[in-house]
Structure 1
Amino acid sequence: MSTAALAFRTPADTPAWQRRFLYSPPARIVLTLLLIAALGFVLFMPLKVLGWVGPDAARAQGIVGALLLYVLPSIAAYLLAARWIERRRPRELLRGRDLPRDLAIGIACGAAYISACAGALWLAGAYRVVEVRTDIPFAGTLLVAGVGAAVFEEIVFRGVLFRIIEEGLGTAAALLASALLFGFVHITNPGATVWSSVAIAIEAGLLLGMAYQVTRSLPLCMGIHAAWNFTQGSVYGSPISGLPTKNSWLVPQFSGPDWLTGGSFGFEASVVAAAIGLAAAIALLVVAQRRGTLVPWRPNRAQPAYHGVEAPAA
């Protein structure tokens, strides 16, 4: 098994206090999340003055304000943390010429996943289209629930939590911790249950974690996530993690038990979605095993520390 794909390893000559309070996985996670929160607060203030955030914001300005709050602080904080703390170029985010390809693959995979869920429910008689609409306002779902949520959540859960935990404790610990956290942050969503959180941990936490592990590409994960949300809401008319969709091209009628349809939480609480997501995650796990990219427990103890400030390319 190899740790060559790890983005960062602590330089060998690092003083003990820096190793503990700056370069350790808990320190880097906390510092990056604090930086995201601080930059978000700084951006929120002028947007509030402009009237682009809050219940009184006009629809167009509210969409742009929400998108900016999701995207700018998370990307800026990630870039700054990579530069100031890890002293490296974050190749997992800045993909160069691979960026269009990664986004296209991610978008295709996310749309295919949700389409497979809808198709399986249709075959089971649990999903039926009662109306097809062509003139719907989809910008809010695309930009906020799609792009905004995808960028923010993939940076936090895959770029920060999964990546840094994997660098400290290995792939298995990173996958388990990031998946559970990702699932249970949705426990406060409308219609959420313990099962819906477990289902999201399985189908999204494990699947997106393994997608990052195999590709080392955050844009690819963002593409999956954005297309997943947009296709689920604006195409198939399912609630997005419990948040109801008012406008969709296909107006559905669901029938059957909640464990099959997902109930008011949407596709993501369906056993069908969980089963398809788990199967895809296992397939990616097999790919990683064959490539030898799974990182062992405590990788820094399994190999000598990297000498230098710029980690090897992923």
Structure 2
Amino acid sequence: MRLLKQLVPVAVVAFAGGMIVGAVQGSPLLTLLLGVATAVLAVLVYARMVRWSERRAPVEVVAKGAVAAIVRGMLIGVGMFAAVIVNIAFLGGYRIDGMGSVPGAVGLVGFMAAAAVTEELLFRGILFRIVEERTGTWIALALTGLLFGLSHLFNPHADLWGAIAIAIEAGGMLAAAYAATRTLWVPIGVHFGWNFAAAGIFGTEVSGNGASQGLLHGVTSGPALLTGGEFGPEASPYAVVFGLLLTVGFMWLARRRGNVVPLRRGATVTLAQ
């Protein structure tokens, strides 16, 4: 019941906000404003539901230090995508055909902010955190990462490989980022930085949703095995490799900080049955 009390209200905000933001995508300024408003409202609703259902302060979204944590996450996300796209370009799978659209990139800030915040609240703030309490960090990371990947099967141009790639490079890595820091601001920053770098900077497809008008007019070509095809660079082996490396790094940090919740005995019995 605690999971539902938190999941349903945040999901309603995510769905309604996504519909509204999608409806005004022709206006970059409105997209920016409504996207940011959706993100802020989602955090407020999440915090209120946690206070109500768990009788505690929602320290994972505390305002103090939020900006610095988001910026750190954004740098990681942008750096990770830049590393992926540079490797793809090195083998001739990506090129820049001129400048893109500054207003388009501005609108994408709002769109990506709404998506990154609501997805992190749902998958890491609610699902991962509550499942982790029952099963331990590693099982929660695997289960919620898989769910995150499978949720992308509903996207245009999605296939099983794309979902598996998302599960590994994003679902697992973002959960590891939360485990290492115990704040949602870092995974939110990583998620936003990755998505905005893909669409808002390099102009590539994002999870099968088609290329957007970012700062650069990017063109991908060549084997889908290299570029990720119509699903985008997230389905590239490079993205999976870099995502795995970050997952290992975050989990090493989580273990060093004592943030890894061990497998519960009850969970072991259940799995054995």
Q: Hey, what does 2:239 align to over in structure 1?
A: 273
Unpaired runs of at least 5, structure 2:
269-273
1:130 aligns with 2:97: yes
**TM-score under structure 2 length normalisation:** 0.88
C-alpha distance in 2, partners of 1:135/1:40? 26
2:259 to 293, 296, 300: 293
Q: Hey, what does 2:78 align to over in structure 1?
A: 111
Q: What is the one-letter code of the residue matched to 1:201?
A: A
C-alpha distance in 2, partners of 1:76/1:259? 41
**225 and 79 in structure 1: CA distance in 2 versus 1, 3 angstrom threshold:** same
How far off its partner does 1:119 sit? 1.0
**65 and 249 in structure 1: CA distance in 2 versus 1, 3 angstrom threshold:** closer
1:112 aligned counterpart, secondary structure: helix
C-alpha distance in 2, partners of 1:226/1:249? 16
Does the Cα contact within 8 Å between 2:78 and 2:193 map onto a contact in 1? yes
1:236 aligns with 2:202: yes
Q: Hey, what does 2:271 align to over in structure 1?
A: none
Pairs aligned (count): 266
1:102 to 69, 82, 87: 69
Q: Hey, what does 1:82 align to over in structure 2?
A: 50
Asked which structure has the greater CA Rg, the reply is: 1
Q: Hey, what does 1:168 align to over in structure 2?
A: 134
1:1-314 mapped onto 2 (5 Å cutoff): 27-37=1-11, 55=23, 59=27, 60-61=29-30, 64-72=33-41, 74-96=42-64, 98-133=65-100, 135-144=102-111, 146-298=112-264
C-alpha distance in 2, partners of 1:195/1:172? 22
1:29 aligned counterpart, secondary structure: helix
Higher helix share: 2
Q: Hey, what does 1:307 align to over in structure 2?
A: none
Q: What is the one-letter code of the residue matched to 2:137?
A: T
How far off its partner does 1:62 sit? 5.2
**244 and 39 in structure 1: CA distance in 2 versus 1, 3 angstrom threshold:** closer
How far off its partner does 1:133 sit? 4.0
How far off its partner does 1:291 sit? 3.4
Identity over the aligned pairs, expressed in percent?
35
C-alpha distance in 2, partners of 1:255/1:283? 31
Q: Deviations over 1:233-271 (max 9, x none)?
A: 121111111112331222223232111101111110111
**69 and 292 in structure 1: CA distance in 2 versus 1, 3 angstrom threshold:** closer
Q: Hey, what does 1:20 align to over in structure 2?
A: none
Q: 129-138 vs 101-110, which deviates more?
A: 129-138
Q: Hey, what does 1:6 align to over in structure 2?
A: none
How far off its partner does 1:75 sit? 1.6
**281 and 38 in structure 1: CA distance in 2 versus 1, 3 angstrom threshold:** closer
How far off its partner does 1:168 sit? 1.4
